[in-house]
């Protein structure tokens, strides 16, 4: 089933890679494209069953769009306001990003929730607004360690989706399940833990939008994904890709993750 949905490998660069490092990254990825990716993986990328995406910091978006122009690597923004314009000091709107060619946004990352006051309510405002504006939206959910240890994982996923999902489904909506305890810690969820959480997520998506929409929705796993553990995670039927922080910062490991995506599509 998951294979009919394709696979998305998304790099969340967080506050890493300024303009210069971004250009260098793109250059290395382009020059190693044919040597580091197998023919079959490149074909999957060409046919769009395998998608590659990076979320650079705002100031690196233009350099990234320029450097990746004509390539298969898409570029998205890590944080975008829900309003079009106005008195929101420090914020950036979707129309500003659309103007430079950004087509993807990231919403509800746990670091935005933890450090910058993002809530399920603002997640919903952003996801609604970004989808209306035509973006592809990656909406993040996931429980903390205390919540997992307290047996609350299912409840947290249910609540975050019930409150954060936009009212109307779109095929441009993508979910990323990212257990907070696995982010940047080197502690990856086991493939079984990821699959279980993704099944719960898909069930909740089905509750809101119906089974057909749920079957089409990509659900990514995030939290210490590496080229080494990607195969096991991507082998799960409900894991449709990865949202990757640390391991997406180096061209070689980003390409290795794409190769793992290509292999998973063959299995
Ligand atoms: P990580 O980050 O891969 O470094 O754990 C993932 C994320 O926060 O999206």
Ligand 1: atom nearest CA of 185 is 5
The reply to whether ligand 1 has any atom less than 6 angstroms from the CB of 253 is: no
Strand 219-222 and strand 104-107: the pairing is unpaired
pLDDT-derived band at 1 (thresholds 50, 70, 90) equals very low
Question: Which one-letter DSSP state was computed for residue 186?
Answer: S
Q: How far is CA 152 from the centre of its chain?
A: 23
Structure confidence at residue 102 (pLDDT): 98
Residue 61: is its pLDDT beyond 80?
yes
**Catalytic residue check, 252:** no
Query: Mutate which of 76, 183, 233 to test ligand 1's pocket (most atoms within 8 Å of Cβ)?
Result: 183
Structure confidence at residue 30 (pLDDT): 97
pLDDT tens figures, 24-59: 999 999 999 999 999 999 999 999 999 999 999 999
The answer to whether 58 touches 92, Cβ cutoff 8 Å, is: yes
Average pLDDT value over all residues in the chain: 97
Q: pTM of the full predicted structure?
A: 0.97
pLDDT tens figures, 131-151: 999 999 999 999 999 999 999
Structure confidence at residue 2 (pLDDT): 47
Hey, what are 204's tokens? Answer: 């909740």
Query: Percent of the chain scored above 70 by pLDDT?
Result: 99
pLDDT-derived band at 3 (thresholds 50, 70, 90) equals confident
The answer to whether 182 touches 176, Cβ cutoff 8 Å, is: no
Question: Rounded mean pLDDT of 210-215?
Answer: 98
**Catalytic residue check, 17:** no
* Cα R_g (the chain), whole angstroms: 17
Question: Rounded mean pLDDT of 194-211?
Answer: 98
Number of CB atoms found within 10 A of residue 187's CB: 12
């Amino acid at each position: 089933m998951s294979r009919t949905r394709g696979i998305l490998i998304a790099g969340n660069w967080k506050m890493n890679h300024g303009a210069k490092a971004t250009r260098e990254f793109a250059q290395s990825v382009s020059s190693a494209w044919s040597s580091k990716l197998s023919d079959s993986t490149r074909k999957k990328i060409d046919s769009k069953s395998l998608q590659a995406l990076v979320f650079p910091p705002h100031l690196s978006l233009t350099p990234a769009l320029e450097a990746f122009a004509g390539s298969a690597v898409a570029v998205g923004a890590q944080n975008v306001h829900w309003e079009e314009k106005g008195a929101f000091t420090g914020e950036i709107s979707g129309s500003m990003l659309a103007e430079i060619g950004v087509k993807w946004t990231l919403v509800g990352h746990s670091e935005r929730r933890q450090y910058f006051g993002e809530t399920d309510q603002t997640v919903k405002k952003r996801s609604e607004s970004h989808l209306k504006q035509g973006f592809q939206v990656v909406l993040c959910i996931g429980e903390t360690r205390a919540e997992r240890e307290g047996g609350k994982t299912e409840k947290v996923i249910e609540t975050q989706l019930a409150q954060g999902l936009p009212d109307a489904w779109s095929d441009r909506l993508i979910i990323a399940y990212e257990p907070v305890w696995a982010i940047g810690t080197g502690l990856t969820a086991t493939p079984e833990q990821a699959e279980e959480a993704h099944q719960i997520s898909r069930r909740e998506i089905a509750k809101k939008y119906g089974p057909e929409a749920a079957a089409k929705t990509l659900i990514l796993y995030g939290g210490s994904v590496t080229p080494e553990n990607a195969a096991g995670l991507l082998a799960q039927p409900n894991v449709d890709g990865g949202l990757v922080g640390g391991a997406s910062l180096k061209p070689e490991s980003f390409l290795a993750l794409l190769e793992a995506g290509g292999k998973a599509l063959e299995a």
